[in-house]
Amino acid sequence: MKEKTRTVLFWFILIQPFLDLYWFYNGKLAEVLPFTLPTIIRILAIAVIVGMFFSQKETWQKLSKEKWLIAYITLLAIYSILHLIHVKNFTSVSPNDYNYSTSSEIFYLIRMMLPLIVIFLTNELNFTKKQFREVIEGVSGLFSFTIVISNLFVISLKSYETGFINSNIFAWFFNPSIGYSHMASKGFFNFANMVSAVLFMLVPLMTYFLFTHFNWKTITLNVVQALAMIELGTKVAALGLLGGIFIGLAIFVIHKYLLKDIKKGGWAFLTAILIEIGSIAILPFGPAIQRYNYEIYLAKQSDHDLSDEKRELNAGLKKYPKGEKKEAFLRYFIRNNYHAYAINPRFILKSYPYQYDPDFWIKMMHESGQNRMQNRNVEEAMLNQVVKTNDNKLDKYLGISYTRETNIFNLERDFASQIYSLGWIGMLLFIGPYVVIMLYAAFEWLRYKGVRTFLNSSMIASVACMLFAAFSSGNVMDFLTASFILAFVEGNLLVQVRKNKKVKEIN
């Protein structure tokens, strides 16, 4: 039964890219059920795997001895109840309470538990190194080949905005005026940022496989993944590609010349260097650099002379110093001038509508152009204003709910995002384990000579890359495709650390 359970989990992780297809989350297919179809499939799949795992009597006996696990599950249950009670009553300027729903919040808490279950199961099921490699290479290939082939035939969805791209990678070199939004390709997947973070996490592992299984298959997979990350056009993908390869090379050098547990790897090293050089050569023509240059242009435009707008605002405030007339004037001024201040229309019209709190948006208009252009600054400012309006000290510890936060705007910085939605306690309980496992593995790597393997070093670096991507770009830890793959890597990292610790400890 254990072997069957391992096989089911193997295929479950391998199909994660298919469960991230755009049409599952948008259009008619997304409206078939109250919750998205992939999430329901994942919940049912985990339930089946858990049922298979605990169908053996010895498993229950072993679990009953894991007091730390029982304590952790108890804490999750107590927190979840307190969180749901706390977020039910909320004071806001929005007449619809930011579309808060208790059922949606319960569903979110269940979703957040699923990857934690995968960590536990992966650790208990003891995947072999070969099985681990097959899953990682499979996930890399499914994401990367989909992006590269769909870009080649100009049928890929745009990474930015909606619709399909109109130019493939070959057109980049002959038509520099295409525009980044028409170049950046995410294949048929839902979130470009999430795919970027996953591929960034896989770079050190794919580089490791290049060194340990040097053949045309691993060379092709590494080249195609590099092309996919360039075509995605996000900062995380572009910088993650260059940084990830560098990290992989650095780990190889450490193990070959300092730890001296690697004998070969010259041709693989040269191949990785060539992939890095090729990526550096292509990136200036790609969407990531185009977008970066466009953002610089917009930042300069947003700091243009606003003297006329300021005079209009001051004259209006002088004429209508307080009361309903002042509020009416501010709404009129914001509606007619927010474009001049380069404020994202989605923020001011949908996320936190100016009609409900015009004073907040007037304050934002007084910020520098650079601050107004930084989406994360505005996102955080909106969320801070919502917390301030509710005026409940427990928000800091129990959150304002994921439902409210995402209906305002999902802050593009994980960890901080979960502090708003779940509070400090919820963030530590649901997100903290990923960091704890990485730090634990790093500590054991320093402590035990046997743990200092090339694979363990690559896995620790891989997890660190994912967590860094989550913190820097957000939209990762709340999305099951990314968190399941991360959980699978961390579960296997625990397996390897446990096995390698048996080597004699360094004195």
How does 150-171 read in b/e, with b if 16+ C-beta sit within 10 Å? bbeeeebbbbbeeeebebbbeb
Q: How far apart are CA 221 and CA 229, in angstroms?
A: 12
**Cβ atoms of residues 361 and 344 within 8 Å:** no
| 411-436 average pLDDT score | 95
What's the confidence (pLDDT) of residue 367? 83
| 267-285 average pLDDT score | 96
Structure tokens of 150?
């769909």
Confidence of residue 213 (pLDDT cuts 50, 70, 90): very high
pLDDT tens per residue across span 325-361? 898 999 999 998 888 888 888 899 999 999 999 999 9
pLDDT tens per residue across span 215-271? 999 999 999 999 999 999 999 999 999 999 999 999 999 999 999 888 888 899 999
The one-letter code for the residue type at 385 is: Q
What's the confidence (pLDDT) of residue 57? 72
Instruction: List the chain domain ranges.
Output: 128-295, 298-395
Q: Tell me the sheet residues that pair with 435.
A: none
Question: Which phi and psi (to 5°) does residue 102 adopt?
Answer: -65, -40
The one-letter code for the residue type at 9 is: L
What's the confidence (pLDDT) of residue 507? 36
Q: Tell me the sheet residues that pair with 21.
A: 189
pTM, 2 dp = 0.93
Give the number of other CB atoms < 10 A from CB of residue 401.
28
Q: How far apart are CA 232 and CA 288, in angstroms?
A: 8
